[in-house]
């Protein structure tokens, strides 16, 4: 058995792609439009997981239904998790792009942000925790994750 992907329904495809590709750095690997089913599927992979176009690593499938539908707050999904080289630099870059850091990396190890569709994304520091640093060490939580 092999884990293939996690599917997320998105309300605004452009906003979702900006968040996951532009801000988080994932790559679009393939796209499929279904005229009959009235949806678009886009599969994304993390740069360190994609080698020579191979899709052997777990992927994120963005599903965009062409007809309007209310998906609620998406809290029942749980979260996606990504390992990052420098959690402080990653959070600073996301914050500069206007993304709220819902759970700052006070411990130098873990942070949470949310996608435009309210999907929680956990960021984990590669290796051991970084030493506590400001402004993160004293920053409180914002909203939910």
**Per-residue buried b or exposed e for 39-48, using 16+ beta carbons within 10 Å of the residue's own CB:** ebbbbbbbee
Q: What is the pLDDT of residue 55?
A: 61
Pairing state of beta strands 39-45 and 27-34? Answer: antiparallel
The residue among 65, 95, 114 that closes a domain is: 65
Domain count, the chain: 2
In 3D, which of 24, 115, 13, 17 has the Cα closest to residue 73?
115
Same domain, 80 and 21: no
Same domain, 77 and 140: yes
Q: What is the pLDDT of residue 103?
A: 96
Same domain, 21 and 52: yes
Q: What is the pLDDT of residue 144?
A: 85
Same domain, 88 and 116: yes
- 122 labelled catalytic: yes
Same domain, 87 and 49: no
pLDDT tens, the chain, 145 aa long: 566 788 898 989 999 999 999 999 999 999 999 999 999 999 999 988 876 666 667 899 999 999 987 777 655 577 888 999 999 999 999 999 999 999 999 999 999 999 998 888 999 999 999 999 999 999 999 998 8
Same domain, 34 and 95: no
The domain in which residue 135 lies consists of 72-145
Same domain, 86 and 35: no
Q: What is the pLDDT of residue 71?
A: 73
Q: What is the pLDDT of residue 72?
A: 72
Q: What is the pLDDT of residue 51?
A: 65
Same domain, 44 and 103: no
Same domain, 59 and 90: no
Same domain, 60 and 77: no
Q: What is the pLDDT of residue 48?
A: 84
Same domain, 9 and 38: yes
CA 16 to chain centre: 9
The residue among 65, 92, 114 that closes a domain is: 65
Q: What is the pLDDT of residue 13?
A: 95
Catalytic residue among 35, 55, 61, 122: 122
Same domain, 53 and 78: no
Q: Looking at residue 14, which CATH number applies to its domain?
A: 3.10.180.10
Q: What is the pLDDT of residue 89?
A: 97
């Amino acid at each position: 058995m092999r884990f293939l992907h996690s599917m997320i329904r998105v309300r605004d495809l452009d906003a979702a792609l900006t968040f996951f590709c532009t801000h988080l750095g994932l790559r679009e690997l393939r796209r499929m439009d279904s005229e009959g089913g009235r949806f678009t599927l886009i599969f994304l992979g993390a740069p360190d997981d994609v080698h020579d176009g191979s899709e052997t690593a777990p992927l994120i499938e963005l599903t965009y239904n062409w007809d309007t539908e209310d998906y609620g707050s998406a809290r029942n999904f749980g979260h996606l998790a990504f390992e990052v080289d420098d959690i402080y630099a990653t959070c600073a870059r996301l914050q500069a792009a206007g993304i709220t850091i819902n759970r700052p990396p006070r411990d130098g190890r873990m942070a949470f942000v949310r996608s435009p569709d309210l999907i929680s994304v956990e960021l984990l520091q590669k290796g051991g925790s970084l030493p506590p640093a400001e402004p993160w060490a004293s920053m409180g939580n914002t909203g939910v994750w």
